[in-house]
Chain A
Amino acid sequence: MFQEIKSKLNDMSTVKRLCERAEAHALQDHQREPGAEHFLLAALDLPDGTARLAFERAGVEPEALRAAIERQYGDALRSIGLRAEMPTGTPMSANAGIHQAAPSGREIMQALAAARKGHSPLLGAHVVGIVAGMSHGVAARALRALGVDIITLKSTADAIAEVGHAKTFDR
């Protein structure tokens, strides 16, 4: 019982940290509402280290993700014959009040909620597994730009999350 309450409190703290980091990454990207790509960056920031581990085991450099997100925008514009540099951004500040995510970000949160009914601890690898399962959108394109095999990344992240889950119950 105590373990379950402790686990829930830890989860709430992790969710809060995940959302705050995702919002910070979105604002840095000049977007007010974090999308899946910002949640992926936020997962790499989580102290459990499992998101980074999933990337590394799948042969991907975690630090390269931000540049790949930016690069896929340029690639998309070039695909229609435009070559454009984004204007140097006017800083953006957060919405006052409640955190709001873009639809792809909400999809991540809903998937996390649905997948964690067994009260397993939330880990960065869970987020990576969910995002790697999304075949369209900025995050998917950024992962493709990195040359990631998303099937490998997803299975690696899911396996790491499962081991993390087991370790928690072993304690």
Chain B
Amino acid sequence: MVDLRDITVPTDPDEALAAVVALRRLADSIERQAVRSALRQGWPWSRIAQALGITKQAAHKRLSDVAADNSST
């Protein structure tokens, strides 16, 4: 378990911004893995979208290839 109080934001902007980029990439990766898992458990896109706090259209547009991959495996 990560204690968020242990997170320190570097004072060097280049370092801090690089950490933001890496966190976004990590979040994207976790999102795709979670959506794949949800689809395998039979979640409809409306439920996935609601859980992500975005519209069904936005979820489908960004993540529909996860569905394609899910159906092929």
Residues of A within 8 A of B (CB): 30-31, 72-77, 79-82, 84, 86-93, 136-138, 141
Per-position binary interface string of chain B over residues 1-44, scored 1 when its CB falls under 8 Å from any chain A CB and 0 otherwise: 01000111110001111110111011011101101100000000
Complex Cα gap A92–B29 (Å): 10
Q: State whether A76 touches B19 (Cβ < 8 A).
A: yes
Point out the residues of chain A lying under 8 angstroms from B14, CB to CB: 136
Asked whether A73 and B22 contact (CB < 8 A) given A81-B7, A89-B29, the answer is: yes
Assuming A90-B29, A90-B36, A138-B21, what are 17 further A-B pairs, CB within 8 angstroms? A30-B28, A30-B29, A73-B21, A73-B22, A73-B25, A76-B19, A80-B8, A80-B19, A81-B7, A82-B2, A89-B29, A92-B65, A93-B65, A136-B14, A136-B17, A137-B21, A141-B18
Q: Are B7 and A79 in contact (CB under 8 A)?
A: no
B69 touches A91 (CB 8 A): yes
Of A73, A75, A81, A88, the contact of B8 (CB 8 Å cutoff): A81
Contacts of B66 in A (CB 8 A): 90
Residues in A with CB closer than 8 Å to B51 are none
